Structure 1
């Protein structure tokens, strides 16, 4: 029987991918609370949906099965008991301080008989004006009247790469950097536990959302069936990489080495895949600003714990060493121009989704980087990203591979 998850590289032909079509959660973004929700701007929903539909249409045209997070989550609520458990867990993590409001929201969600409608609502968040009128008789109710939401929206959900990540036949259910995103991983928990396609299919969980140190999927790259790369970044702790490595080795997966890439804690870099992605057997996109100070650590299984070594070599030589290559080519975002590099990296010029060896999906708005990739012999599939990019993520961020062909 084929496994529901099979991801042994970044570049094997993509067969099945998980996405989330931007929804009403984007229309609950407000200028005063953008930082709280990890956004720099407010995308125009209708145009963002058109761009996302263009992205998924392109994937389907390449014979890639496209699954939607919102559908899988709804289909995971296979019994009334599981449905009620999900609602109660969601509400427990929604940070609703008023017990009266919490009870009203629970009543509203339980009253939605269509699971997909209910899931959409949990993703969109809830404004106070949506609640049936209730008597504000607690101090919490009275003091917090100015904040417009009972439950914050989840506008980052269309970046399905982050809440959980696939590697080998397993998955990490991630502990997110910000409280506002930790609720996103609830959907993954229920999908991999209860969905008919995944639940009971012996999917190893290599990191759990109950872990105490943070890790996000944008920092997790499967370079080969033997090598995993994980970024030490604004969103992922070094301690998390040690835990993940130990869990992988304990689970008996094929990975022999975990490479820790220390890219620094910067909002503009955020995740490893915003500055470094694999686009062919021997080609990588990279933001030149990280090269000079980049530290790489190798983690392997020892006789008594982990062996951790700082690699004292260039990135090219390190990649050649662990991927058994004679040479690699780094395609630098923006080329040699520091202004172009900074601008196009901010617009996710380095965040490519590889759908087959040497074939990628990119935003059309990064002409310098795109031309350099084409000159390197890479086939590009362009999608518009004027609205999607406002969330600071590109094609790789918006996709979670579930099945790739082995290479």
Structure 2
């Protein structure tokens, strides 16, 4: 029986106690160069190599916190017949090709007939198209229900915000089933003890509303930092603002909004250019976060259910300093050389995941970023050495654990993208 933790996340850096992961499966390989773009990939992955790299991440995390696998959690949920029927019904509404539509093969009954573990796999890895007529036999489409190619980036479809879970309103419909699965996990597994908030449940929702977890960072329990770009719209940020206003807290709370470029694709989320590392340090892609440019930083202050003001700020770090968070920036790609900065940002060099204050994980391939981390007091530790017990984390105060990343970065994300924390200890600010 799973040992569930009660959901509570009030920062990006508090000591990690629980995290949800999804080890890449056959859904990652079930694509070709022709349909990779539709799957939101710029390249195709070698599954065997990607799984070995991911195993370094999951093995390290299991040594420091309670880890949960999406497929295991979903299997538990599907053991509840009521939940099973509700989920399959929603899938059929969300993806019409799954249900009856003209002569389209209906797989609803097929899904309902499956055992929980098999159904969990089908919902993630896809259902092959049954070639029972000439059109389908000649079709280039191989799946009646497409695989969730991006699901190992568990960060995007749901976000822990204090003691609630905000469900992602994905920018691309190919990922909608991820949000459905994550909401089902939190709605039907009582051990997490949380409430889900889903934008699609609001009948007055703006159709332009999109929210993804890579854009939502909890700096402190009174400060949210949100990226505004191709994956999280201004309407999505307004939805989050509206949720905070309904809480009518007497203390001031703040949303810092950072505009992001629409291209290249490496600027997909805020955590690709900015992540928190310690109580006094952060990782930045300097050209966007610190240099003067056309991308705005906006500060929204709310109190007692009202917006007090909305103002422009010079940059994200200055805005945080005004709120009592004086952070020293460490540069993705190191200082000075734009080529190194661009190359390493492309390979998720700014995308770090904290397991505690000053204790983070990232890709070892970004050597200039790692040099900058080391110069700022972080010991560089290889995940392999930790897994093999060659070194003990308790011997080090501040460190970055490096995982190999020849395949995983091809999917367009790093350690933070691949982790959905559900509980962290409070930070001694």
TM-score (norm 2): 0.86
Contact 1:16 1:401 in 2 (8 A): yes
Tell me the CA shift for residue 318 of structure 1: 1.3
CA distance in 1, matches of 2:409, 2:70: 20
**Partner of 2:117: helix, strand, or coil?**
helix
- Aligned residue for 1:311? 312
Aligned residue runs from structure 1 range 384-403, under 5 A: 384-403=404-423
Contact 2:274 2:284 in 1 (8 A): yes
Unpaired segments of 5 or more residues in structure 1?
none
Tell me the CA shift for residue 202 of structure 1: 4.5
- Aligned residue for 2:223? 227
Closer, same or farther in 2 for the Cα pair 1:85/1:261, shift >3 Å?
A: same
Per-residue deviation, residues 128-158 of structure 1 (Å, max 9, x unmatched): 2xx3x5346xxxx569833232222111000
- Aligned residue for 2:277? 279
- Aligned residue for 1:256? 253
- Aligned residue for 2:237? 241
Contact 1:283 1:330 in 2 (8 A): yes
- Aligned residue for 2:84? 83
**Partner of 2:41: helix, strand, or coil?**
coil
**Partner of 1:248: helix, strand, or coil?**
helix
**Partner of 1:156: helix, strand, or coil?**
coil
2:145 is the alignment partner of 1:154: no
CA distance in 2, matches of 1:9, 1:304: 22
Unpaired segments of 5 or more residues in structure 2?
379-398
2:31 is the alignment partner of 1:69: no
Contact 1:77 1:194 in 2 (8 A): no
1:28 aligned residue (13, 16, 30): 30
2:49 aligned residue (43, 47, 50): 47
Tell me the CA shift for residue 124 of structure 1: 0.9
Contact 1:204 1:251 in 2 (8 A): no
CA distance in 2, matches of 1:382, 1:142: 46
CA distance in 1, matches of 2:71, 2:247: 29
Tell me the CA shift for residue 107 of structure 1: 3.1
2:173 aligned residue (165, 168, 179): 179
RMSD over aligned CA atoms reads 2.2
CA distance in 2, matches of 1:127, 1:290: 43
**Partner of 2:183: helix, strand, or coil?**
helix
- Aligned residue for 1:357? 357
CA distance in 2, matches of 1:206, 1:176: 11
CA distance in 2, matches of 1:87, 1:352: 35
Closer, same or farther in 2 for the Cα pair 1:232/1:209, shift >3 Å?
A: farther
CA distance in 2, matches of 1:297, 1:304: 19
Tell me the CA shift for residue 258 of structure 1: 1.1
- Aligned residue for 1:348? 348
Per-residue deviation, residues 291-319 of structure 1 (Å, max 9, x unmatched): 32242112222578424422333433211
Contact 2:187 2:196 in 1 (8 A): no
1:203 aligned residue (195, 198, 210): 195
**Partner of 2:8: helix, strand, or coil?**
coil
Tell me the CA shift for residue 87 of structure 1: 1.4
CA distance in 1, matches of 2:124, 2:252: 34
